[in-house]
Amino acid sequence: MFITFEGPDGSGKTTQVAQTADALRKRGYRVLLTREPGGTSIGDQIRHILHDMDNQNLHPRAELLLFNASRAQIVEEVIKPHLASGGLVLCDRFFDSTYAYQGYGHGLDLTTLRMVVEFATGGLRPDLTLLLDIAPEDGLQRRLSAIDKGEEWTRLDDMEMAFHRRVREGYHALIAAEPSRWLRIDAAQPVQGVQAAILAALDARLPPPK
């Protein structure tokens, strides 16, 4: 099974996906935990370009292609082989981030995005996608406190609040268009509550470990 985690910046997604991977391993699943952009050596180099605060003039179309270059690499090098061997893949962001950020956020044409994504993934789609949903103001507040603890502030965190609002609305539109693939989790609650909600949802849906 291929499960992806999505959410606005500061939704706590990265912490949650790591805790989920640990919990599922304890239940006996063979879990591969990975992330986008990145997840491969080539993808991590692309991630650096995308996050670099010096790259303020990166054009949205160039940004789109870089995210999808990283995606094509991780799909072939990491995700498909693990799925083919019967394992469970958890990915911190996947193509829905492209629709939410480059589509709804930057306003790039969604039909074109679908073609680019289809090309990058070779048609691979998540079986299940969890949205860790939080108001953008609260998410960015969390990101700011994380900076105090040494986390990186990225070029995308730095986008205006209206951009982050469009991203969240974009996620809601994606859920409405394909409700059977999505689960919305309230990410404004304390970390343990979010984790419990995720595990309850997965326990109800995952086949027993092989």
60 contacts: CB under 8 Å, gap ≥ 6? 102, 106, 108
Question: Nearer Cβ to ligand TMP, position 22 or 158?
Answer: 158
Residue ranges binding ligand TMP (CB under 6 A): 9, 35-37, 67, 93, 97-98, 101-102, 156
Q: How far is the CB of 187 from ligand TMP (least distance, A)?
A: 13
Minimal distance, residue 97 CB to ligand TMP, in Å = 3
Minimum Å gap between C-beta 107 and ligand TMP is 13
Give the residue with the Cβ less far from ligand TMP, 35 or 166: 35
Q: Considering beta carbons, is residue 9 or 133 the nearer one to ligand TMP?
A: 9
Give the nearest distance from C-beta 119 to ligand TMP in angstroms: 14
Nearer to ligand TMP, 16 or 195 (CB): 16
Pairing label, strands 2-6, 88-92: parallel
Instruction: Say which residues have a Cβ less than 8 Å from residue 191's Cβ, sequence separation at least 6.
Output: 12, 15, 16
Spatial separation of the C-alpha atoms in residues 185 and 170, rounded to whole Å: 16
Query: CB of residue 27 vs ligand TMP: minimum separation in angstroms?
Result: 26
Nearer to ligand TMP, 37 or 126 (CB): 37
